[in-house]
């Protein structure tokens, strides 16, 4: 049981990126009420037009001939016609407007590149549901929720835009994406090099799959982030699991824990404690993903360098009692869940919601996106747990009636054998646990890795900020330089063509 539920937690990490849409919108207004004008908010409002494109439900077979309306957002304010470049965001597991809002980098470089911006929603997320609200009700429908279908959607959409927008026929297109969206942008360039001249794959763990990287690397990075953010911070968290087990062994201890953590629903039994620990583990992982150098509202509204703030409550020495330690853990968790002061209670099933993003991503993790994760409690600060594919597979079968194909992602996208491709930038943050599955060294002159040592999850895609470390400024500059080279080369190729 333990393994199964925990496997789920591991496999759903990326998906945090999408669950969040709901939180973010709900909390934004509260944040503004409490803090008034945010000190860091020179972010210009984004402005785009929303369109819907009739997309084939199944690109790869001919029996299902239906279509669905794929949502995409378009901004041509700075587009230089004819032939100005198109920056195309390959949408991931959530509402595309939320990704659009959180990809300030594209908005900031549109003018200097004279680029049109397009943000394409991934099928089965946001409003792009092939079978309407029923999309998730029948696993037969979910059969068309694959990255291959999503890439085909993007290709068909781009071909259509080029054919229908005056002045776009010869526009070079560059794919941009973060996280799973970054994996898609890299794969898009690999599979459709005639459609995009290059790709920026930010924090894209394209090697997080079976047999490609050690399963423990992900949680090692999480642990390192805490280790370097405060005295004994990782050690305290490592100790907290036993403390929870001990304290929760009595009825009064359970009650104390529930009250100390201000839980919405009191802990009653072993099962609740298991959920509670998984929830805490996910909290630390999420903090590692969003350890940004400035106050930000990505997964949750958080202070600048939130792990440092969290670690202030966790700097215990070895004599600390279980109760003191857990009091610190509770205060630390509340930095994440109650920074705005507007949470009445903490909900340990918050990440188990059946929102569309959650189900969609979990289905993808249960089919072709199998990402093994494990912990040993020594090199990381978590309870030891091996990767158990069979247990994971059984859980997928129980949930969706499908079993994962552990090796498919490697077979279809090449795994580590990608050197024959070109024009892809893989950027990764040293603080981001997903860097564990990322491309972190240069593969060839045009498959380039950019490391941002003090960056968390796709920091480079966010709006620039006065508190940005030099490493992310340098990364963005290098990215734009490559964009310009790709665009220039595409124009030259086109001009040399006899048809011109």
> Contact positions toward ligand NAG, by CB under 6 A?
21, 24-25, 45-46, 95, 97-98, 101, 246-247, 253, 262, 264-265, 322, 334, 338, 341, 343, 345-347, 349-350, 353, 441-442, 448-451
Partners of residue 176 on adjacent β-strands? 89, 200
Smaller CB distance to ligand NAG: residue 82 or 341? 341
Smaller CB distance to ligand NAG: residue 41 or 81? 41
Smaller CB distance to ligand NAG: residue 289 or 448? 448
Smaller CB distance to ligand NAG: residue 246 or 390? 246
CB of residue 428 to ligand NAG, shortest distance in Å: 9
Smaller CB distance to ligand NAG: residue 143 or 327? 327
Q: Alpha-carbon distance 43 to 137, whole Å?
A: 39
CB of residue 103 to ligand NAG, shortest distance in Å: 11
Q: Alpha-carbon distance 46 to 384, whole Å?
A: 45
Partners of residue 424 on adjacent β-strands? 199, 447
- Using the structure block, give the residue that is written with the tokens 């920056």: 87
Backbone angles phi, psi at 73, to 5 degrees: -115, 140
Both tokens assigned to 407: 């090796």
Smaller CB distance to ligand NAG: residue 444 or 493? 444
CB of residue 43 to ligand NAG, shortest distance in Å: 9
- Using the structure block, give the residue that is written with the tokens 């903090």: 287
CB of residue 156 to ligand NAG, shortest distance in Å: 25
Burial class for 56, CB neighbours closer than 10 Å (0-12, 13-18, 19+): buried
Smaller CB distance to ligand NAG: residue 57 or 478? 478
Terminal CA-to-CA distance of the chain, rounded, Å? 64
Q: At what angle do helices 2-11 and 356-365 cross, to 10 degrees?
A: 110
Any idea which residues carry the catalytic annotation? 179, 432, 457
Smaller CB distance to ligand NAG: residue 373 or 448? 448
CB of residue 339 to ligand NAG, shortest distance in Å: 9
Smaller CB distance to ligand NAG: residue 158 or 309? 309
- Using the structure block, give the residue that is written with the tokens 């705005």: 340
Q: Alpha-carbon distance 277 to 283, whole Å?
A: 10
- Give the Å distances, CA to CA, from 452 to 59, 88, 101, 429, 435: 37, 23, 22, 5, 10
Smaller CB distance to ligand NAG: residue 259 or 386? 259
Q: Alpha-carbon distance 286 to 348, whole Å?
A: 14
Q: Alpha-carbon distance 180 to 24, whole Å?
A: 19
């Amino acid at each position: 049981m333990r393994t199964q539920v925990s496997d789920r937690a591991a496999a759903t990490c990326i998906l945090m990126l999408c669950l969040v849409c709901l939180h973010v919108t709900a909390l934004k207004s509260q944040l503004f009420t409490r803090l008034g004008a945010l000190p860091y908010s020179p972010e210009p409002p984004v402005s785009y037009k929303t369109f819907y494109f009739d997309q084939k439900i199944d690109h790869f077979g001919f029996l299902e001939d239906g279509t669905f309306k794929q949502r995409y957002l378009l901004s041509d304010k700075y587009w230089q016609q004819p032939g100005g470049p198109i920056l195309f965001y390959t949408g991931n597991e959530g509402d595309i407007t939320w990704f659009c809002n959180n990809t300030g980098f594209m908005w900031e470089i549109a003018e200097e590149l004279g680029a049109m911006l397009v943000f394409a929603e991934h099928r089965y997320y946001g409003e792009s549901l092939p079978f309407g609200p029923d999309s998730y009700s029948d696993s037969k429908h979910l059969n068309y929720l694959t990255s291959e279908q999503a890439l085909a959607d993007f290709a068909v959409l781009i071909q259509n835009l080029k054919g229908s927008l005056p002045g776009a026929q010869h526009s070079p297109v560059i794919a941009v994406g973060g996280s799973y969206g970054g994996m898609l942008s890299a794969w898009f360039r690999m599979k459709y090099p005639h459609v995009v001249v290059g790709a920026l794959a930010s924090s894209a763990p394209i090697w997080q799959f079976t047999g490609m990287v050690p399963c423990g690397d992900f949680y090692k990075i999480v642990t390192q982030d805490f280790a370097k953010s405060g005295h004994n911070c990782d050690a305290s968290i490592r100790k907290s699991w036993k403390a929870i087990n001990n304290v929760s062994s009595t009825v009064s201890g359970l009650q104390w824990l529930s009250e100390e953590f201000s839980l919405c629903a009191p802990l009653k039994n072993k099962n609740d404690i298991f959920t509670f620990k998984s929830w805490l583990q996910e909290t630390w992982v999420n903090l590692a993903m969003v350890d940004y150098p400035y106050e930000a509202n990505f997964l949750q509204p958080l202070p600048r360098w939130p792990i440092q703030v969290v670690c202030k409550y966790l700097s215990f020495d070895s004599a600390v009692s279980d109760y003191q330690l857990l009091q610190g853990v509770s205060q630390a968790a509340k930095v994440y869940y109650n920074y705005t002061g507007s949470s009445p209670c903490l909900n340990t099933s918050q990440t188990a919601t059946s929102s569309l993003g959650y189900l969609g991503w979990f289905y993808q993790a249960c089919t072709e996106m199998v990402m093994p994760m494990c912990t040993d409690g020594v090199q990381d600060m978590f309870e030891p747990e091996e990767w158990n594919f069979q247990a994971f597979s059984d859980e997928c079968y129980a949930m969706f009636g499908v079993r994962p194909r552990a090796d498919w992602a490697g077979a279809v996208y090449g795994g580590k054998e990608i050197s024959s491709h070109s024009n892809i930038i893989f950027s990764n943050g040293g603080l981001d646990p997903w860097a564990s599955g990322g491309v972190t060294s240069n593969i060839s002159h045009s498959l380039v890795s950019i490391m941002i040592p003090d960056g968390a999850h796709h920091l480079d895609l966010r709006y620039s900020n006065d508190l940005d470390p030099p490493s992310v400024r340098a990364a963005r500059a290098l990215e734009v330089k490559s964009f310009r080279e790709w665009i220039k080369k595409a124009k030259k190729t086109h001009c040399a063509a006899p048809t011109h």
